[in-house]
Amino acid sequence: MVRHLLVPIDGSELTDGAVHAALELAKQSGARVSFFHVQPSYYGRPDVAIYGEGLVLDPALSEQFSQANARFAATILDKALEQAQAAGVEASSETCVSPLVHEAILEAAERLGCDLIAMASHGRRGLAGLLIGSETQRVLTHAKLPVLVIPAQASQA
């Protein structure tokens, strides 16, 4: 029985569909939902190498990016919380800054005591999925708890 769902969201139409599906599941099972958004951080990413001399990022510009990301996170999390309230589902939200989205999702699920992660997938397969990368695929590969993948087609229904 599902008691606590983690629903990672990024503000896309796909995650809007995942929010809807997760709220339906939570409503039917009496579970609570934690919405989670990972704000991007490009510092310390092991999969991004920067070559060259004199690379300087203006601290003021970096701060502007951080503030814009925080505002965006608050907007999409508030929207999800409003949807949960309208559906009569107990919900909370949280955000963090991380260069590795899948790791942040898995850490949040463990820390919050979730027993299911419900997330959207763009549905790309083959070379396109491999080249573009998929946080959903990374979560599936490393998760120690069940992951409900809501495909793009279901999200748009």
As a whole number of angstroms, the distance between CA 138 and CA 54 comes to 33
What's the pLDDT at 125?
61
- Please provide the average confidence, as pLDDT, over all residues in the chain: 85
Q: Are 77 and 37 in contact (CB under 8 A)?
A: yes
Compute the Cα dihedral for 117, 123, 124, 126 and give only its sign.
Answer: positive
152 has a pLDDT exceeding 80: no
pLDDT for position 66:
86
Q: What stretch of H or E contains 72?
A: helix 59-87
Q: Which pTM does this prediction carry?
A: 0.84
CA atoms lying within 13 Å on the CB side of residue 49: 2
Phi and psi at residue 100, to the nearest 5°:
-120, 95
Residue 49 pLDDT exceeds 50: no
What proportions of the chain, in percent to the nearest 5, are helix, strand and coil? 50, 20, 30
Tally of domains in the chain: 1
Domain of residue 151 covers: 4-155
Q: List pLDDT tens digits, range 51-61.
A: 545 455 667 77
Mean predicted confidence (pLDDT) in 146-152: 89
User: What is the CATH classification number for the domain harbouring 79?
Assistant: 3.40.50.620
> What would you report as the CA-atom Rg of the chain, rounded to the nearest whole angstrom?
17
Using one digit for the tens of pLDDT, what is the confidence trace for 90-130? 999 999 999 899 999 999 999 999 999 999 987 666 655 55
